[in-house]
């Protein structure tokens, strides 16, 4: 089944040709059961309460890029709508869940691996949320990224007073860098200090992303 928009409100500057999602699209034959746990996650991944992810997010703003020197000139970026503390959760990365071996995985610039063992990834090329507008820090922020993608657990069903089971599902979230994380670009002299209101939220796409894109350009794709 194709994804459907389930919220009547769109973020400002949302493109007309992209479907806005407020939850992960899981097409058949995939199932959310692949991502579920009914016991409290005991690993080191962050746990996001059910009340935290809201759509549209009040923490971020999509803005057009008007600076000619910006790598995403005449495109868009994602900016902090308020000051964001170090290590804090910002937003989930939403799109279409698919197997990493599918055809779109090698061609989409919006594809993130969710679980390598299960061969699952999330692609936000055709549908997604505000997180799809996060740019790579290169050419934007000399200090390096101020945020990162992290695997996390999201509480889908809280426990009920009558003893009903809670349920968590795996997701990819955007988090502000932790206060103790050193900036490699300056030899570790500066530490992450959170993200100021109005500052662009940028991550590192990773060297593998840029190597793949360079190969595509060399092949004329």
| Model confidence band, residue 163 (pLDDT cutoffs 50, 70, 90) | low
| Residue 83, pLDDT above cutoff 50 | yes
Cis ω before 136 (30° cut-off from 0)? no
| Model confidence band, residue 111 (pLDDT cutoffs 50, 70, 90) | very high
| Residue 212, pLDDT above cutoff 70 | no
Q: Does residue 171 form part of some domain?
A: no
- What CATH code is carried by the domain that includes residue 129? 2.170.270.10
Beta strand pairing status for 47-48 and 127-128? unpaired
The residue with greater pLDDT, 189 or 121, is 121
| Residue 186, pLDDT above cutoff 90 | no
pLDDT value at residue 18: 96
* Residue 100 domain boundaries: 19-35+53-150+180-218
pLDDT value at residue 135: 98
Got the DSSP string for 43-111? SSS-EE-TTS--SS-TTEEEEE---TTSTTTTSEEEEESS-B-TT-EEEE--SEEEETTSGGGGT-TTE
| Residue 209, pLDDT above cutoff 50 | no
**Burial environment of residue 100 by CB neighbours within 10 A (0 to 12, 13 to 18, 19 or more):** middle
pLDDT value at residue 217: 44
Q: Does residue 41 form part of some domain?
A: no
Tens digits of residue pLDDT in 113-159: 999 888 999 999 999 999 999 999 999 999 999 999 999 999 987 66
Return the structure tokens found at 40: 């409290």
Secondary structure class of 217 (helix, strand, coil): helix
| Model confidence band, residue 7 (pLDDT cutoffs 50, 70, 90) | confident
Cis ω before 56 (30° cut-off from 0)? yes
Q: Does residue 168 form part of some domain?
A: no
CA atoms within 13 A on the CB side of 85: 2
The residue with greater pLDDT, 110 or 50, is 110
| Residue 81, pLDDT above cutoff 90 | yes
Q: Does residue 167 form part of some domain?
A: no
pLDDT value at residue 121: 94
* Spatial distance between the Cα atoms of 91 and 37, rounded to a whole number of angstroms: 21
For the chain, the straight-line distance linking the first and the last C-alpha, in angstroms and rounded, comes to: 30
pLDDT value at residue 8: 81
The residue with greater pLDDT, 15 or 8, is 15
Tens digits of residue pLDDT in 14-47: 999 999 999 999 999 999 998 988 777 777 899 9
Counted domains in the chain: 1
* Spatial distance between the Cα atoms of 213 and 111, rounded to a whole number of angstroms: 13
What is the value of pTM for the model shown? 0.86
Q: Does residue 165 form part of some domain?
A: no
Q: Does residue 163 form part of some domain?
A: no
Q: What's the whole-number average pLDDT of the chain?
A: 86
Tens digits of residue pLDDT in 45-74: 999 998 888 999 999 999 999 999 999 999
Q: Does residue 166 form part of some domain?
A: no
Angle at 53 between CA 49 and CA 58, to 5 degrees: 130
Q: Virtual CA dihedral for 101, 104, 108, 110, nearest 10 degrees?
A: -70
Q: Does residue 48 form part of some domain?
A: no
């Amino acid at each position: 089944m194709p994804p459907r928009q389930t919220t009547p409100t769109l973020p400002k500057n949302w493109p007309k040709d992209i479907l806005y999602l407020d939850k992960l699209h899981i097409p058949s034959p995939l199932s959310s059961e692949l991502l579920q746990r009914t016991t409290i996650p005991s690993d080191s991944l962050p746990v996001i309460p059910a009340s935290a992810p809201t759509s549209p997010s009040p923490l971020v703003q999509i803005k057009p890029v008007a600076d000619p020197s910006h790598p995403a000139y005449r495109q868009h970026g994602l900016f902090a709508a308020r000051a964001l503390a170090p290590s804090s959760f910002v937003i989930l990365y939403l799109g279409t869940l698919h197997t990493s071996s599918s055809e779109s995985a090698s061609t989409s610039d919006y594809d993130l691996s969710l679980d390598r063992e299960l061969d699952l990834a999330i692609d936000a090329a055709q549908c997604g949320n505000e997180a799809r507008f996060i740019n790579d820090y290169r050419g934007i922020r000399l200090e390096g990224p101020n945020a990162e993608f992290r695997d996390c657990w999201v509480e889908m069903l809280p426990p009920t007073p009558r003893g009903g089971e809670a349920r968590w599902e795996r997701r990819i979230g955007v988090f502000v860098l932790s206060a103790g994380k050193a900036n490699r670009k300056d030899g570790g002299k500066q530490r992450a200090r959170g993200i100021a209101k109005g500052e662009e939220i940028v991550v590192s796409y990773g060297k593998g992303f840029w190597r793949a894109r360079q190969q595509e350009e060399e092949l004329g794709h």
